[in-house]
Amino acid sequence: MTIKVHEKLLLTGAAGGLGKALRQRLKANCTTLRLSDLQDFGAAEAGEEVVLANLADAAAVDAMVKGVDAIIHLGGISVEGPFTPILQGNIIGAYNLYEAARKHGVKRVVFASSNHVVGFYRQDQTITADDPPRPDGLYGLSKAFGEDLSRLYFDRYGIETACVRIGSSFEEPRDRRMLATWLSFDDLHRLITACLTTPVLGHSIIFGMSDNAVTWWDNSRSRHVGYVPQDSSDVFRDAIYARTSSPDLNDPSAIYQGGGFVKAGPFPDVSPDKVA
């Protein structure tokens, strides 16, 4: 049973893969779910509001945040790529979101960070939230910025944030790396619910993963949140081993936790007038 502690929640990035997976699930957490994305993704359903907003537009973000009780922030660029879109969506966009939260008195945010904040740790290491960031690209760097930004807004303004370093959230793991990083959609919802309902959240960095036997991340620093994953990548292990080859240990994507992100790019940048 999901306890409703907020009347109105905002979900940014609602048209993305995880936004679509959470859209129906999050309705159990609130009376009204406000959905936002950059592009039109259809009309609001029962119990929903739809607000289109470019995260780089401070006025649009301010209007998007007004009147909500808490925010699940999935919006922005979710892959490695040119710097300008990442700057606009993930860095300026995150600043605009926290400024709007400050102005409108929103005191709790679940921020979709990423495992790519620590992508240059090795796969033979186990790390905690206390280990310093080692981003594997511009995308990971932007999420590290978001974590620091949220810390500033907690220390200065008391806005609590769970920085959820999402691993690989899909219907099922796709390769051997994801046996360690997989996060089921239901466990993602359980984690967000825990972050929304724990009495004292503070500023917490949490690794977004299911109950996988193989893991590179120690989540012990986040026990106060009360997240208990119920799914595991282990049930997919035999099938994944059968259809994939052994990793090449000379390949950086098999050495480092960030996988293919550690060798993506460089990308030609784009001019600001071509960024939506």
pLDDT tens digits, residue range 199-227?
A: 999 999 999 999 999 999 999 999 999 99
User: Is the pLDDT assigned to residue 6 strictly greater than 60?
Assistant: yes
> Of residues 95, 121, 139, 256, which has the active-site annotation?
139
Q: What are phi and psi of 175, to 5 degrees?
A: -155, -175
User: Is the pLDDT assigned to residue 41 strictly greater than 70?
Assistant: yes
Can you tell me the distance from the alpha carbon of 239 to that of 241, in angstroms, rounded to the nearest whole number? Answer: 6
User: Is the pLDDT assigned to residue 275 strictly greater than 80?
Assistant: no
**Secondary structure, 3-state, 109-157:** EEEEEEHHHHCCCECCCCECCCCCCCCCCHHHHHHHHHHHHHHHHHHHH
Identify the weakest region by mean pLDDT among 39-48, 129-138, 216-225, 263-272.
263-272
User: Is the pLDDT assigned to residue 276 strictly greater than 50?
Assistant: no
Active site residue 121: no
Task: Report the relative pairing of strands 203-208 and 70-73 from DSSP bridges.
Answer: unpaired
Helix, strand, coil share (%) of the chain residues, nearest 5: 40, 20, 40
pLDDT tens for 137-150 read: 999 999 999 999 99
Can you tell me the distance from the alpha carbon of 177 to that of 1, in angstroms, rounded to the nearest whole number? Answer: 32
Can you tell me the distance from the alpha carbon of 202 to that of 193, in angstroms, rounded to the nearest whole number? Answer: 15
**151 pLDDT band (50/70/90 cuts)?**
very high
Can you tell me the distance from the alpha carbon of 228 to that of 187, in angstroms, rounded to the nearest whole number? Answer: 8
Q: In what order do the strands lie in the sheet with 70-73?
A: 48-52, 30-37, 6-12, 70-73, 108-114, 160-166, 203-208
Can you tell me the distance from the alpha carbon of 9 to that of 31, in angstroms, rounded to the nearest whole number? Answer: 8
Can you tell me the distance from the alpha carbon of 37 to that of 39, in angstroms, rounded to the nearest whole number? Answer: 6
pLDDT, position 270: 83
Report residue 73 as tokens: 């922030």
Can you tell me the distance from the alpha carbon of 221 to that of 223, in angstroms, rounded to the nearest whole number? Answer: 6
pLDDT, position 53: 98
Q: Which residues pair with 52 in a beta bridge?
A: 37
What residue segments make up the domains of the chain, in order of their start?
6-274
Task: Using DSSP, state whether 129 is helix, strand or coil.
Answer: coil
Share of the chain above pLDDT 90, in %: 96
Can you tell me the distance from the alpha carbon of 218 to that of 216, in angstroms, rounded to the nearest whole number? Answer: 7
Q: Which CATH number fits domain 6-274: 3.30.2310.20, 3.40.50.720, 3.10.20.30, 3.40.50.300?
A: 3.40.50.720
